[in-house]
Amino acid sequence: MTRPASPHRVSRPLLRMVALARPRGVRFALGVLLGALATAAGVGLLSVSAWLLATAATHPPITALGVAVVATRAFGVTRGVARYLERLVTHDAAFRTLADVRVRVYQRLARSEPVRRFRSGDLVSRLVNDTDATQDLLVRGLTPPLVAVVVGGAVVALSTALFVPGGLLLAAGLVLGGLAVPLFAAALGRRSGRRQAAARGELSTALVDTLYGAPDLVAYGAMEQAVLRVERADAELTRLARRDAAVLGLGSGASALVAGATVWATLLLGVAAVAGGALDAVPFAVVVLTALAAFEIVAPLPAVAAKLAAIRASGARLFDVLDTEPAVRVAEAPADRPGLPEEGAATLRVRGLRVRYGPDEPWALDGIDLDLPPGRRIAVLGPSGSGKSTLASVLFRFRDPDAGTVTLDGADITEHPADEVRRFISGVPQDPHIFASTLRENLRLARPGADDAQVWEALERARLAEDVRATMPDGLDTQVGAHGARLSGGMRQRLALARALLAQPRILVLDEPTTHLDPDTRDAVLDDLLAASEGYSTLLITHDLARLEHMDEIYVIVDGRVVQRGSHADLLAEKGWYRRAHGLGDPPRGGLRVVR
């Protein structure tokens, strides 16, 4: 069940992202230093060359130029080399930081296990992208402004030393061009983005509907209507985009204007100062050419401002997830309470279990009682949305009950660390994940020490061994692809089952192990599952009536409550949901048998 996350305002996401990254200080400082060196060399080259020409114009002895000649060459080489090293150092540092950030985010997720929010694959990949945005923050978000501050300061200091009004002008120009214009441009971009958001959404929906819904549209002769809707959405978005184009160009116009105006004002004041004798011709040339070159320092900053806005949004989303209350309390082992059973089979007892996903939400489970004695196999059956999977979440310790108890031989599972409980209760969660790795690694996940013989035995019991031998020449070393893409649906479910068996839990919980399978495969998997779970305490959660006659007991859950309980035969004999579901009892139109 997916419910939208409650909107929650994350304050200062950028600062928190920097704090989360705790960037490798020394490496980043080195990166900034190298970047500053590269930029400074570019400006310096022109300043020194200006000095060289202005001095040469006075026809001095050649020795007077020696230092400048060497300096120009040094600057010429420095710029390229320093830039290259800067990029290597900052990228390396960002990657190193990324490893830390990923581990920190992962640990936070592993601790709070917001399983429910993760149902949608899109959410997960967005979370991962948002985590990786810290890399961009460091390389593209923080380094360029720091470099600009260092070099800008140095250049302004140099100009001020030569000609005070020139230095002040340059300072004003750089602040305008490096701070005011980028912020202004970013604000314009955000405004236009907001204005276009609705039109963009409508276009995207219309396109998705038209392309994914093509079979239905064609069959019902409605394709023209759908294309018309796309065209309308496209026209509206294009209209807005064309209107906004007039505004979005302002940023680059302003950049050019600030640079040009600074040079112009420097020339004006400089000529007056030279004519008045307050300034020499040589420093005048240096100050003007430095001003010409100095705007290279702030050139990357408009892009940085736009990038930071995107990174900020990433941060807000990331912390929105990370700030979620853990769904499970961390239990401290209680001394005075019954401990988890030492060994042997255990009885699972659920009493008055109630769970809901928020204070204003309806009860997903509303007072469930359930008993699973050792070695028995029970099914929990109910329509979709009846709360069955919430029961599995509680048993797997993905979330705490809001009321009621779940005990193993009298020991309350919420009073023990989650991983201790999972030693007893394990199995196949809903949509079990197959990792992009080998068959062996996917299986040994459940028991890291298992040898190949044990792995094969588990495959044997899940009736996957034969398929593996027949179709996979690499055997256990076969790469199964992302999400097990190279396996068939049935093989994926059998793999998940084999993995659960390898874990050897005392209580095997199987949450909808046959969803998404076609009926043939479903029946075959269920048969194998029933054979494999022989002797285990098994709890099968399903919405499907197939093979239920083999279970010892069936609990029917509707709207979070147990409405019926008994064996297949018992339930068929009594009036109620189970009989109706089989098309028996008093169906409206001639009895139809679903299951023989």
Partner 1 sequence: MKPLDPRLVRTASAVRVHLAVTVLCAAAVTGLVLAQAWLVARIISGAAAGEGLAELSWAIAAVAAVALGRAALSYGTEAAALHSAARAKSQLRRRLIARVTGVALPGSPEPPRGEPGRGPVWLAAPSGPGTGEGESTPRAGELATLATRGLDALDDYFARYLPQLVLAVLVPLAVLAVVARADWISALVVALTLPLIPIFMALVGWHTQARTRRQWRLLNRLGGHFLDVVEGLPTLAVFRRAKAQAAVIRRITDEHRHATMGTLRIAFLSALVLELLSTIAVALVAVEIGLRLMYGMVDYQTALLVLILAPEAYLPLREVGARFHASMEGVAAAEQVFAVLDERLDAAAGPDPAPERETSSRALVRPCRDGCAAPRLRLDRVSLTYPGRTVPALSEVSLVIRPGQRVLLTGPSGSGKSSLLALLLRFVKPTGGEILVERPSGSGSAPLSHIPADQWRRLIAWVPQHPYLFDDTVLDNIRLGKPEASVAEVRRAAELAEAHDFVSTLPQGYGTRLGERGARLSAGQRQRIALARAFLRDAPIVLLDEPTAHLDPDNAAAVRRAVARLLEGRTGVVVAHDSGWSELVDETVHITGGRIGAPL
Considering the complex, state which of residue 128 and residue 403 has its C-beta at the smaller distance from partner 1. 128
# of chain residues touching partner 1 (CB under 8 A): 170
What strands, in cross-sheet order, belong to the sheet with 403-408?
A: 363-372, 348-356, 403-408, 411-412
Distance CA 271, CA 280 (A): 10
Of 29, 183, 248, 472, the one binding partner 1 (CB under 8 A) is 248
Considering the complex, state which of residue 227 and residue 573 has its C-beta at the smaller distance from partner 1. 227
Q: Supply the minimum distance, in Å, between the C-beta of residue 466 and partner 1.
A: 19
How far from 566 is each of 381, 406, 527, 547, CA to CA, in Å? 11, 21, 21, 15
Q: Which is nearest to 423 in space by CA: 339, 357, 305, 487?
A: 339
Could you say whether residue 261 binds partner 1 (CB under 8 A)?
yes
CB 186 within 8 A of CB 306: yes
How many CB atoms within 10 Å of residue 123? Answer: 16
Restricting to residues 288-327, name those near partner 1 by CB under 8 A: 288-289, 292-293
Q: Supply the minimum distance, in Å, between the C-beta of residue 267 and partner 1.
A: 5
Of 17, 158, 254, 551, the one binding partner 1 (CB under 8 A) is 254
State whether residue 576 is helix, strand or coil. coil
Could you say whether residue 193 binds partner 1 (CB under 8 A)?
no
Could you say whether residue 283 binds partner 1 (CB under 8 A)?
no
Considering the complex, state which of residue 11 and residue 58 has its C-beta at the smaller distance from partner 1. 58
Could you say whether residue 183 binds partner 1 (CB under 8 A)?
no
Could you say whether residue 42 binds partner 1 (CB under 8 A)?
yes
CB 35 within 8 A of CB 90: yes
Considering the complex, state which of residue 121 and residue 535 has its C-beta at the smaller distance from partner 1. 121
Of 171, 464, 526, 581, the one binding partner 1 (CB under 8 A) is 581
Could you say whether residue 200 binds partner 1 (CB under 8 A)?
yes
CB 17 within 8 A of CB 98: no
Q: Supply the minimum distance, in Å, between the C-beta of residue 246 and partner 1.
A: 5
Could you say whether residue 385 binds partner 1 (CB under 8 A)?
yes
How many CB atoms within 10 Å of residue 525? Answer: 24
Considering the complex, state which of residue 276 and residue 358 has its C-beta at the smaller distance from partner 1. 276
Give the Cα-Cα-Cα angle 189, 192, 197 (nearest 5 degrees): 120
Pairing mode of beta strands 425-428, 507-511: parallel
CB 345 within 8 A of CB 375: yes
CB 184 within 8 A of CB 66: no
Q: Supply the minimum distance, in Å, between the C-beta of residue 481 and partner 1.
A: 6
Could you say whether residue 83 binds partner 1 (CB under 8 A)?
yes
Restricting to residues 472-511, name those near partner 1 by CB under 8 A: 481-483, 485-486, 499, 503
Could you say whether residue 62 binds partner 1 (CB under 8 A)?
yes
Q: Supply the minimum distance, in Å, between the C-beta of residue 374 and partner 1.
A: 21
Of 183, 207, 309, 403, the one binding partner 1 (CB under 8 A) is 207
Restricting to residues 118-177, name those near partner 1 by CB under 8 A: 118, 121, 124-125, 127-128, 131-132
Q: Supply the minimum distance, in Å, between the C-beta of residue 111 and partner 1.
A: 9
CB 434 within 8 A of CB 475: no
Window of 159-167, 237-245, 335-343, 464-472 that interacts with partner 1 by CB under 8 A: 237-245
Give the bridge partners for 406, in sequence order: 350
Could you say whether residue 246 binds partner 1 (CB under 8 A)?
yes
Q: Supply the minimum distance, in Å, between the C-beta of residue 459 and partner 1.
A: 16
Distance CA 185, CA 302 (A): 7
The rounded Cα 437 to chain-centroid distance in angstroms is 21
Could you say whether residue 113 binds partner 1 (CB under 8 A)?
yes
What the block records as the tokens of 25 is 């200080």
Q: Which is nearest to 419 in space by CA: 119, 113, 124?
A: 113
Restricting to residues 393-432, name those near partner 1 by CB under 8 A: 396-398, 418-419, 422-423, 426-427, 429-430, 432
Q: Supply the minimum distance, in Å, between the C-beta of residue 336 and partner 1.
A: 26
Distance CA 61, CA 49 (A): 17
What the block records as the tokens of 85 is 């090293």
Of 329, 519, 535, 570, the one binding partner 1 (CB under 8 A) is 519
Which distant-in-sequence residues (6+ apart) come within 8 Å of 335 by Cβ?
A: none
